[in-house]
Structure formats: C-alpha cells, structure tokens
C-alpha cells in the first residue's frame, strides 16, 4: 500500500509536469515572442491553446501537495523546511502567472496587456526554474529528513541550477511541440513553421543540458546516476527516442501523435527519476516505508484516488475534447 | 493578530501574520467560486425559461467576473497549500496523515470545479443553451463539496478526533471520524451560508450603486433582485445556524466561548456584553451589559453555568489582547449579521405587500453598503474561530509555537506575499472596474480581444 501511495504521488507529479509544464512553456514562448505587433499572432495562438485548460492543469499541483502531506507527512515537512526559498518563490511565481494570464485576457489597452502579459510570461519561466532546483535537491539527496539545514547551500548548487534550467527548457520543448500541432490543426502554416523551428531549438537545448547534467550528476550524486543508468535506463532510452522522434515527425505526423510523443518524452524522464530513486523519497536516506502515513490513511487515499479517477478523468476528457473540437471559444 | 501570543521562535509572529493575510485574502474570493456561480445559473435559467435577454446578459457578465476571481482564488489557494508546509511544518509533519484527508477530498472538488467552470465560461458561444446550463451544475455542486472539505479540516483543528497517538505521533487514523468530526456539520453549514450571504449582498450592492448613480432600469433591477433575494432568504437561516454554532462552541470549546463572552470567571447568570474590553486584571470596561443573557442563550436558562478563562491553565491561556480581538470580532459578526437581516426584512415586507423593491433612497443606500458589511461579517467570523483557538493550532494537541517553522526569514516571505498577493487583489479590482466601465459603455468586450494594438478597441475604452 505504501508503494501504491508513492506511485499515486508520482503519477500526479508526472501529470503536473506534462500538463502544467506545457502551460509554463507556452509562457516561455510568449515571453520571447517580441513586441506587441510582431508577437501578436503567436500570442493569440498561445492564448487560445491554454486559455480554457490552464486552470484545470494547475490543479494537479494542488493534488500533488495534498497527497504528499497526507501520505508522507515527515518528508513533506522536511522538503518544505529545507527548500523554503525556491518553493516559496515558486508559489509567488504561480500567483503572478495565474493572475497575469487571467488579467491579460480581460485587459483591452495594449499597455495593460503588455504589463499583465509580461508578468504572466516572465513568471512562467521563473516558476519551473525554482521547481526544477527543488526537484534537483530532492533527487540528489540533499534534503535531510530531520535536522534543519541552511537553505542556500542545499539548492544553490551547480546540480540544482542544472535541473532548474532543464525544467525550463523541457517546458519550452513540450509547449513548442504542442503549439506546432495546434497551429497545424488550425491551418496556420506560418505559425506551424514558427513553432516547428522553436521545437527543434528547445529539443537541442534540452539535449545539451541533459548531457551536461549527467556530467554534473556524476560528481554530485553518483548513486542517482548509477541507478538512472541501471534500472532507470529503459526510460532514459524511451525519452531519448521519443524526444528525437518527435523532431523527425514534426513535418507530417498527426498532431495528436506529436502531442502524445512529446508528453512521453518528458514523462519518461520523470519515470526514470522515480525508478532510480525507488524505494527512497529523499536521496537514499528517507525510504517510502519509513515516511508513510498509517495504513488507514493510505487506504483512504487509494479509495479517493479511484473515485477521483472515475470523476475527474472523464471530465478532463470532456474539457480536452471540446477544446480540440473548437467548441470552447472566447467570447 | 498583531500580538505575539506566547513566547515562541522569532518566526511565530510573521508566520501568523502571513497566514492571516493570505487566508483573509483568500476567504473573500471563496464566495465567488462557491455562490456567484449559483447566481449566474439562476440568471441563465431565467433567461432560457422566459426568454429574458437581460438575464442572459447578467449570466454572461457574472460568469466573466467569476472567471477572473476564480483564477485569483485558485492561485491564492495554491499559496495557502504551500504555506501549510512552509510556515507550519510542525503541523503537517505530525498530523498530515489525518489533517490531509479532507484536503485530498477537496482536491477532487477543486479539479471538477476548475474543469466545468472552464467549459462553462468558454462554452457560451458554441453550445446549445440547456447543455451549457447543465455544464454549470457541476461547478455549483463541487463548490459546495470543496467548501465542506476545507471546513472539515478547519473543524478538525477545533475538535480533533479520529486519531490514535503514541508518543505524540499519529499511529492510526479513522478517516470518517476525521472528516465528519463533531464540529464539521455546523461549521461547514455556517461557512457555506456565509458564502451565499456575501456573494448575494456584494453582487446586489453593485447594482444598488448603479441605481443610485444612474437611476432605475430593468437590467439593473434584475441584477439587483436575483442576488439580493438569495441573500435575503439565506440571512435568517444563517443567523439561526450561527446561534446553533455558538451553543455548540459553548459545549465543545469552552475556552473560545469564554473569550467570546469576555468572561474571566466561571459562573451562572452571566450577562451578555455588547462591545466592551477586558482589562489586564480580568474586569470588563465599557460596553452594554444585558443581564443573564449569555447564560440564557447558551443553555436556555439564567442558571446555565459558563466556564471562564480562569479554568484554562495559565500557561496556555490566551492573553487579554487576543480575548478582546475574539470578543470584538464576534460582536462585529453578529452586529453586521443583524443589520443585514434588518435590510432583508425591510425588503421582504415591502415585496410581499407590493411585489416591489422598496423605493426609498435610504433602502438603496443600505443595499449599496450591504456588500461591504457582509464582507466584514465574513472576516470577523473567521477571526473568531481562528484567533479563538489560540494558543492552539490543533486544540489540545499542538501549540501554534510548536507548529511553526524554525527556518527562514519569514518576514521577507511575508513582505513578498503582501506585495504579490496584494498586487493580484488590486489587479483584480482594476480589471473588474475596467470591465464594468466597458459594459456601461455598451461594449461586450470580455475575452475576445486580440492581443496587440488595436485602435478601434482603444476608442471604446476612452469614450
């Protein structure tokens, strides 16, 4: 049951990384789209593609937090205690991003749109960066379970900065592929080319940073690297294959296939991390078994999870299908 | 809130301020997700049932307001989830296994609410009318479910149960007993009704202001009538439920009740003090005393014995400053509640006799103020339950000073939150005002504005 609980947490985390990650990435492209006139069409596409879904995608994060504190309370407390700076900044980034996006939608004046849009876009880059550094600190075993530790030296390290950068560029990659698919569906050929080029750029960036990350990881957390290249290797390979595969298919494949493959590329990286870390939650000192809540809580969570899957997944399906069929229009 | 409760780590005061600020902010947004959505469905129902164009316009505009405020509420709620861990790791680490269960349930409701609200808001143009209406129903239901879940967690902090402790650690949990704890039903109902009171009066007050400024119109009348009638029906029920809550508090949380009643020593024939302050020596100054009234209200007899603050051991007794905050907030909640009841009765009497809204300027001034008054009521009710529990975070089990974090400079985090979360609040008000201006000018601009310079649209906003 403990492993099941860890698995649920992991599934939710992965879902947030894929869906929320794509929304963050859209913010990255929004930020880099240029001035009001030049960036107008890419921004309109971004707006259209994340408008109806970003709020639902965001809820995965809440679900992840509440699952973590209910199923593994001491680990949640330890992570929050130690990583309060990056996580606090990420939380504030989320406020700026969400409200910036919502306000831009209802702003009319260009100056107001520019201010709210820039807030949304900049915080879409900052937030995943801090999440990434926090994930790096957790993965490399730098978060102690009990003893309080100084915060800065825990997460302000080359490895964590690498994972932060990797998070940003991964989000950008996901979003670029999604937006390419979106542009093709809407028959906007120039935007398709625009985002296709950016997909390639982001993929190259992600590849470079990952490769550099392996070198840094080798020094900072040899244990994790060892496990990543041991039991985690199928996922690493899957990620590389799908990640590169998408680039080859960008020209012709069905947009739906593109989306699935890009999500798979990102999801398998996280799966690889999960497998490499199993059976530990923090580095190799806090095991799933030692940190889990009492059995009754875990069983309840499993029950709630089943109910959630039965209620939420079909609803999410309705939302995405309506969105894809163009039934959710602004106005 | 401005006083350090008991000796504790330096993080205690800023952590409490931070929590008070974000929760106090978030709670104002709750009625819009929970109850404004009901108002918008009522308007939409009327629109389709009677072919009422004004009602349709109201439903569409309210849904846009709900969208903006739901977005801000979602992000401030996220900050709160982070703060649970960032500020109170002692609470989450020790009791997360029990305390977290209602929040996980809330997660489902929040998910459904976010999904269907998106479908509803973006579905106006491309869905059949009654299909669109039905997409709003899950929003209302999950808003209620979410409220109940969050309040279940809060009620558990007031009356924790359903857990087995060994050496202070939770070793077994009875999930149903945690969720449906003894304080759950009355607290949850009280909060749900509060959401309808606030959303109703606040929305109605906008149209009351509009009428005072620009005179009556059919659209404004409808925009006033739908929310005001809902609030007017709910407020007497709320006062009845509030009375039940107070009596349950007398039975279940004697220390909080003693603070509410400003009672330093136990006794019978306890008077009800309206206003007034407790001095350091326990005597009560100022205020109006209604003889025997507190005893009568608590147990329907003047002989009802009420426990005073002296029954609480000195080291965990709330200091006088907090007692005064709890008492004053309670008075503010009840006073504003009765003022709103008076306004609702005025409306009800005139409506029953003439089928018409009272026409006098005084009524409309009152209606225009009712929105703010209802927010004061909501906030003060929340202060009563939160400050009233101090110095406990989980009554009898965990002191606030043991729940608080020991790391970090919370003052900095607090300052950042005030600037950013407060900025989001100001931004929300600014965009809502801008939307209102556009609507007054007859422009339906809302979500369909292309990004980038557009002189034509600029011209509409600068008439």
Residues B254-272: pLDDT tens digits? Answer: 999 999 999 988 999 999 9
Residues in chain B within 8 Å Cβ distance of A65: 81-82, 84-85
Q: B377 versus A36: which is more confidently predicted?
A: B377
Between A139 and B384, the more confident residue is: B384
CA distance, residue A245 to nearest chain B CA (Å)? 32
pLDDT for A150: 63
- Give A158 to chain B, closest Cα distance, Å: 22
ipTM of the complex: 0.91
pLDDT digits (tens, 9 = 90+) for A14-41: 999 999 999 999 999 998 888 888 888 8
Burial of B321 (0-12, 13-18, 19+ CB in 10 A): middle
Interface test with B, best of A11, A80, A98, A134 (most B CBs within 10 A): A80
> Is residue B70 less than 8 Å (CB to CB) from chain A?
yes
Task: Indicate if the pLDDT at residue B5 is higher than 80.
Answer: no
Average per-residue pLDDT in chain B?
Answer: 89
* Predicted confidence (pLDDT) per residue in B141-183, tens digit: 999 999 999 999 999 999 998 999 998 888 899 999 999 999 9
| CB contacts, 8 Å: B120 with chain A | none
**pLDDT bracket for residue B448 (50, 70, 90):** very low
Contact A52 B117 (CB under 8 A): no
Percentage of chain B exceeding pLDDT 70 = 94
Q: Which residue of chain B comes nearest to A151, CA vs CA?
A: B408
Of the pLDDT bands very low, low, confident and very high (cuts 50, 70, 90), residue B463 is very low
Residues 392-451 of B with CB under 8 A from A: 405-408, 413, 416-417, 420-421, 424, 427-428, 431, 434-435, 438, 445-451
Ramachandran angles phi, psi of B298, nearest 5°: -75, -40
CA distances from residue A229 to A6, A269, B140 in whole angstroms, order as listed: 22, 12, 49
Minimal Cα distance from A120: which residue of B? B424
The pLDDT of B8-37, averaged and rounded, is 91
Q: Cβ contacts (< 8 Å) between A300 and chain B: which residues?
A: 101, 173, 175
B64-70 average pLDDT score? 91
Determine whether the interchain pair B115/A315 forms a contact, defined as Cβ–Cβ distance below 8 Å. Answer: yes
Looking at chain A, which residue has its C-alpha nearest residue B421? A95
Question: Do residue B138 and residue A308 have CB atoms under 8 angstroms apart?
Answer: no
SS (H, E, C) chain B: CCCCCCCCCCCHHHHHHHHHHHHHHHHHHHHHHHHHHHHHHHHHHHHHHHCCHHHHHHHHHHHHHHHHHHHHHHHHHHHHHHHHHHHCHHHHHHHHHHHHHHHHHHHHHHHHHHHHHHHHHHCCCCCCHHHHHHHHHHHHHHHHHHHHHHHHHHHHHHCCCCEEEECCEEEEECHHHHHCCCCHHHHHHHHHHHHHHHHHHHHHHHHHHHHHHHCCCHHHHHHHHHHHHHHHHHHHHHHHHHHHHHHHHHHHCHHHHHHHCCCCCCECCCCEEECCEECCCCCEECCEEECCHHHHHHHCCCCCCECCHHHCCHHHCCCHHHHHHHHHHHHHHHHHHHHHHHHHHHHHHHHHHHCCCCCCHHHHHHHHHHHHHHHHHHHHHHHHHHHCCCCEEECCCEEHHHHCCCCCCHHHHHHHHHHHHHHHHHHHHHHHHHHHHHHHCCCCCCCCCCCCCCHHHHHHHCC
Q: Report whether pLDDT(B348) > 70.
A: yes
Minimal Cβ distance to A44: which of B445, B451, B461: B451
Asked whether residue B449 carries a pLDDT value surpassing 80, the answer given is no
CA-based R_g, chain B, Å: 24
pLDDT confidence of residue A149: 62
With a cut of 50, list the residues of chain A below it in pLDDT.
331
- Choose the most confident range, by mean pLDDT, from A135-139, B34-38, B293-297, B388-392: B34-38
Q: Residue B444's pLDDT is what?
A: 61
Please tell me the pTM assigned to this model: 0.91
- Amino acid A148: pLDDT: 65
Which residues does chain B have within 8 Å of residue A151's beta carbon, measured at their own beta carbons? 407-408
Q: What is the pLDDT, as a whole number, of residue B6?
A: 55
DSSP label at residue A16: I
Chain A residue with CA closest to B105: the answer is A304
Looking at chain B, which residue has its C-alpha nearest residue A82? Answer: B407
Query: What's the mean per-residue pLDDT of chain A?
Result: 88
């Amino acid at each position: 049951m403990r492993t099941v609980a860890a698995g649920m947490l992991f599934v939710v985390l992965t879902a947030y990384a894929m869906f929320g990650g794509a929304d963050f990435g859209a913010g990255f492209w929004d930020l880099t789209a240029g001035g009001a006139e030049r960036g107008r069409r890419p921004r309109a596409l971004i707006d259209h593609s994340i408008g109806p879904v970003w709020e639902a995608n965001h809820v995965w994060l809440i679900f992840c937090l509440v699952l973590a504190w209910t199923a593994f309370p001491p680990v949640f407390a330890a992570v929050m205690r130690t990583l309060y700076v990056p996580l606090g900044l990420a939380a504030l980034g989320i406020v700026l991003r969400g409200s910036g996006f919502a306000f831009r939608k209802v702003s009319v004046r260009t100056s107001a749109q520019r201010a709210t849009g820039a807030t949304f876009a900049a915080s879409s880059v900052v937030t995943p960066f801090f999440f990434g550094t926090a994930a790096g600190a957790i993965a490399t075993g730098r978060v102690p379970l009990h003893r309080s530790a100084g915060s800065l030296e825990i997460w302000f390290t080359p490895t964590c900065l690498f994972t932060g950068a990797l998070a940003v560029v991964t989000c950008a990659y996901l979003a670029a592929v999604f937006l390419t698919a979106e542009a093709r569906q809407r028959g906007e050929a120039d935007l398709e080319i625009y985002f296709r080029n950016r997909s390639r750029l982001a993929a190259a960036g992600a590849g470079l940073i990952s490769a550099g990350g392996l070198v840094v990881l080798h020094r900072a957390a040899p244990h994790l690297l060892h496990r990543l290249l041991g039991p985690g290797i199928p996922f690493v390979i899957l990620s590389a294959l799908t990640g590169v595969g998408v680039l080859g298919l960008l020209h012709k494949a069905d947009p739906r296939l593109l989306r699935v493959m890009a999500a798979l590329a990102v999801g398998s990286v996280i799966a690889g991390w999960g497998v490499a870390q199993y059976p530990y939650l923090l580095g190799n000192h806090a095991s799933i078994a030692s940190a889990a809540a009492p059995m009754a809580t875990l069983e309840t969570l499993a029950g709630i999870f089943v109910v959630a899957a039965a209620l939420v997944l079909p609803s999410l399906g309705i939302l995405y299908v309506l969105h894809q069929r163009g039934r959710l229009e602004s106005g | 809130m401005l006083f350090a409760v008991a000796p504790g780590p330096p993080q205690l005061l800023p952590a409490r301020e931070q929590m008070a600020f974000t929760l106090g902010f978030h709670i104002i947004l709750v009625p819009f997700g929970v109850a404004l959505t009901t108002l918008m469905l009522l308007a939409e129902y009327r629109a389709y049932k009677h072919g009422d164009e004004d009602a349709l316009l109201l439903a569409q505009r309210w849904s846009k307001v709900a969208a903006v405020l739901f977005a801000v509420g979602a992000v401030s709620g996220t900050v709160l989830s982070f703060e649970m861990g960032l500020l109170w790791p002692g609470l989450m680490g020790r009791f997360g296994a029990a305390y977290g269960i209602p929040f996980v349930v809330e997660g489902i409701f929040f998910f459904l609410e976010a999904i269907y609200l998106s479908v509803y808001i973006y579905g106006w143009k491309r869905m059949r009318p009654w299909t669109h209406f039905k997409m709003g129903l899950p929003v209302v239901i999950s808003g209620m479910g979410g409220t109940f879940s969050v309040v279940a967690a809060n009620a558990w902090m007031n009356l924790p149960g359903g857990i087995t402790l060994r050496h202070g650690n939770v070793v077994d949990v009875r999930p149903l007993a945690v969720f449906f704890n003894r304080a759950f039903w009355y607290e949850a109902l009280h909060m749900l009704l509060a959401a309808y009171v606030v959303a109703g009066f606040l929305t109605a007050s906008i149209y009351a202001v509009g009428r005072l400024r620009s005179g009556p119109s059919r659209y404004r009348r409808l925009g006033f009538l739908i929310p005001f009638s809902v609030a007017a029906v709910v407020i007497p029920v709320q006062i009845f439920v509030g009375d039940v809550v107070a009596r349950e508090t007398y039975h279940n949380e004697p220390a909080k009740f003693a603070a509410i009643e400003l009672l330093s020593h136990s006794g019978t024939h306890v008077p009800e003090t309206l206003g007034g302050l407790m001095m350091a020596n326990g005597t009560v100054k100022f205020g109006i005393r209604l003889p025997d009234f507190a005893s009568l209200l608590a147990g329907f007899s003047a002989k009802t014995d009420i426990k005073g603050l002296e029954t609480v051991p000195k080291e965990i007794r709330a200091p006088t400053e907090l007692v005064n905050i709890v008492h004053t907030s309670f008075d503010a909640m009840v006073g504003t509640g009765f003022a709103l009841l008076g306004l609702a009765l005025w409306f009800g009497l005139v409506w029953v006799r003439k089928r018409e809204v009272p026409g006098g300027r005084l009524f409309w001034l009152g209606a225009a103020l009712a929105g703010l008054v209802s927010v004061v009521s909501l906030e003060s009710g929340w202060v009563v339950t939160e400050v009233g529990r101090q110095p406990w975070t989980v009554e009898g089990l965990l002191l606030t000073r043991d729940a608080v974090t020991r790391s970090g400079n919370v003052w900095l985090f607090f300052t950042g939150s005030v600037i950013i979360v407060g900025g989001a609040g100001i931004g929300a008000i600014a965009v809502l005002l801008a939307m209102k201006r556009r609507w007054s000018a007859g422009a339906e601009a809302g979500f369909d504005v292309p990004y980038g310079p557009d002189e034509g649209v600029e011209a509409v906003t600068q008439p």
